[in-house]
Structure 1
Amino acid sequence: MPVFQIHHITQYQYDRPVKESVSQIRIFPLATPAQHIRQFELLITSDPVVATYADYFGNTVGDFTVLHPHQSLTIDSRLTVETIEKKTATPEDDITIADLRKHIDTDISMLRLSDPERIAAQESINDIVQSITNPVQHVRHMAWACSEYIFRHFKYEKGITSVETTIDEILQHKSGVCQDFAHVLLQMLRSLGIPARYVSGYICPNKSGMRGEGATHAWVEFYTPGDGWVGIDPTNNVWVNGYHVVLATGRDFNDCSPVKGTFKGIARQTLSVFVSVGYEDGHVFEEVNEVKLETVSSDEVEPWQNDWMQAQQQQQ
């Protein structure tokens, strides 16, 4: 049973002071039969009160506000987690699409997760799934065929997409990162009528060379009555088994975003994300990502921002 020590730092920097930062976080690891949380610690700038609750999908969500002026906001989480590897990572349920529909036709939550997004390129998605699957295949074989198609036909490339990138755009340039591939796989599976959900978390295979190793990661889970929710990672074309740590699940990235929020003030903001994964053999994998953000540009400065900056200069 692998044990991982994960350190995750999200840091916002502002070129001018901002105030009343209201943030929502989904960085609390899920306790599941496949992962046991040994320790979890959360540190946030100014030590605000974090109100937690469970959302529609069962994720733990935290809301907090930093009221006073500040030029940086750091969210620092430290996790020790033990995962359980299955004897076989391959799902065993031999159910077909026709069988699956009998199980989910009266389940509203499953039907919702079987409904594909409305996109311009839906016909292209239909052509792809029809060319690589057939109606009498087992659901697990369909899911694998879709994942394999993405792995072979899409290039893993950082910096060309963002969290706002649409499925249509991903299909056009056939490149992206884990969250993009997860969104495409969701669209393919749902177009086949298979309930599927987005998963955010970390991938921790020690020095394996997997794409996304030691960083925040995204993959997909699809549902069958016999196996329940089965994880498949299209970025690496592998079944999820022991090396993926789950933070949140939902329909898409928006339901699982680790951090999102807003603030008062006119400022340019930058975001950096640091993740390190420590392994039982002492090896540590670290990665830092500079995340693209929409910037706010203005020559106008609110009076309270000038006052705060002047006060800070006088203290130096």
Structure 2
Amino acid sequence: MAIFKIHHITNYQYDSPVVDSVNEIKVFPYSCPEQEVLQMELNISFSPDVQLFQDYWGNRCGLFSLLIPHKTLAIESKAVIRTTQSNQLKIDFHSDFQQLQEEKRNNLSLIELSYFEPVKNQETIDKIAMQLTENTNSVAMLVEQCCEYIFKRFKYVKGITTIETTVDEILDHQSGVCQDFAHLMLQILRTIGVPSRYVSGYICPNKNGMRGEGATHAWVEAYIPGYGWAGIDPTNNVWVTNTHVKLAIGRDFNDCSPVKGTFRGNAEQHLSVYVSVGYEDGHVFEGTNDVKQEPMFPFSHAIEASDHISTQQQ
């Protein structure tokens, strides 16, 4: 077990007043047996009423609006979280695809998360899938090999992809960040028929060299027959244990965006995201991501597109 103090601020600044800002936030730690929320504090500029609800995937969400003119908007969350998952995972490496098919039968959720839409370069995905399935009938082993394949063949490079980057573009770049690797792994696993889902959150390794430390992070959960959902991180080539804190799950990043919404106003915006992770030994990792915005069309601007760029999981 481990305890982490996570501080996350999404800050918008506008060069002229905007109004009618409506926002959906997913900054609440996900409720699951692998982690326990010891403390949670949410602060939003102008203290609007926040309507809480649970979405289709079980994520805790908040909805709020600001009708008054404003030139700044800050959304701050502070959480103290204890991760309870053991470092010694007892994943079933003996369960096979026949057992997977039996468990998927009549389970609409697993069937839905097995579905994939072919990409333009689906032929390359099919070749990767065929290569991975040649030497094993173990679902867990295949998932592990898929993770290793991405880790070894795709370079971790910041700044060359965005939230809009497609799987085809990732294949062309042969590089990207955690969000890209998660989307690629989902495409491969679903092509093979393994139910899998996108996970957003934080990685908290405390100076052990893992990539993505202190920032919002992304990984994959694959369904292993005889075990259930197992997190695996292709950015670091590891099964998820107690160094990952989960915020939201879904089919892809669009289901897990920390902040999205709209506003009205003829304004350009500047967006920055600050994240810090505090450890039990007193060490704190922190960083701020400033995003340069292109001028937007007046009167009906979308925060969603700009925020997606800034909060691309690293």
TM-score, reference length from structure 1: 0.91
Q: Distance in 1 between matches of 2:291 and 2:171?
A: 22
Q: State the AA in 2 paired with 1:75.
A: I
In structure 2, the CA distance between the partners of 1:292 and 1:138, relative to structure 1 (3 Å rule), is farther
In structure 2, the CA distance between the partners of 1:26 and 1:293, relative to structure 1 (3 Å rule), is farther
In structure 2, the CA distance between the partners of 1:54 and 1:297, relative to structure 1 (3 Å rule), is closer
Aligned residue for 1:245, secondary structure, equals strand
Match of 2:312 in 1: none
- Is 1:158 aligned with 2:141? no
- Is 1:44 aligned with 2:44? yes
In structure 2, the CA distance between the partners of 1:136 and 1:146, relative to structure 1 (3 Å rule), is closer
Match of 1:312 in 2: none
Q: Distance in 1 between matches of 2:186 and 2:118?
A: 12
Q: Distance in 2 between matches of 1:200 and 1:128?
A: 25
1:120 to partner: Cα distance: 0.5
Match of 1:309 in 2: none
Q: Distance in 2 between matches of 1:87 and 1:55?
A: 30
Taking the TM superposition and a 5 Å limit, the aligned residue runs for 1:178-197 are 178-197=178-197
Q: Distance in 2 between matches of 1:132 and 1:110?
A: 21
Aligned residue for 1:257, secondary structure, equals coil
Q: State the AA in 1 paired with 2:284.
A: V
1:270 to partner: Cα distance: 2.2
Taking the TM superposition and a 5 Å limit, the aligned residue runs for 1:117-156 are 117-134=117-134, 136-156=136-156
Match of 2:273 in 1: 273
Deviation >4 Å, runs of 4+ = none
Q: Distance in 2 between matches of 1:278 and 1:188?
A: 35
In structure 2, the CA distance between the partners of 1:48 and 1:108, relative to structure 1 (3 Å rule), is same
Match of 1:306 in 2: none
Question: After alignment, is 189-198 or 97-106 more displaced?
Answer: 97-106
Match of 1:114 in 2: 114
Match of 1:96 in 2: 96
Q: What fraction of aligned residue pairs are identical, expressed as a percent?
A: 55
Q: State the AA in 2 paired with 1:129.
A: A
Match of 2:309 in 1: none
Aligned residue for 1:131, secondary structure, equals helix
- Is 1:296 aligned with 2:296? yes
> Is the Cα–Cα contact under 8 Å of residues 139 and 225 in structure 2 kept in the other structure?
no
Structure 1: gaps spanning 5 or more residues: 303-316
1:65 to partner: Cα distance: 0.4
Aligned residue for 1:232, secondary structure, equals strand
TM-score, reference length from structure 2: 0.92
Match of 2:29 in 1: 29
Aligned residue for 1:206, secondary structure, equals coil
Question: After alignment, is 18-27 or 86-95 more displaced?
Answer: 86-95
In structure 2, the CA distance between the partners of 1:114 and 1:158, relative to structure 1 (3 Å rule), is same
* Cα deviation digits, residues 25-53 of structure 1 (max 9, x gap): 11111222111100000000111111011
1:61 to partner: Cα distance: 0.9
Question: After alignment, is 249-258 or 263-272 more displaced?
Answer: 263-272
- Give the greater-gyration-radius structure (CA): 1
Q: Distance in 2 between matches of 1:65 and 1:183?
A: 31
Q: How many residues align?
A: 300
Aligned residue for 1:281, secondary structure, equals coil
Aligned residue for 1:99, secondary structure, equals helix
Aligned residue for 1:27, secondary structure, equals coil
1:293 to partner: Cα distance: 4.9
Structure 2: gaps spanning 5 or more residues: 301-314
Q: Distance in 1 between matches of 2:30 and 2:135?
A: 34
1:290 to partner: Cα distance: 2.3
> Is the Cα–Cα contact under 8 Å of residues 87 and 242 in structure 2 kept in the other structure?
no
1:105 to partner: Cα distance: 2.5
Aligned residue for 2:290, secondary structure, equals strand
Match of 1:225 in 2: 225
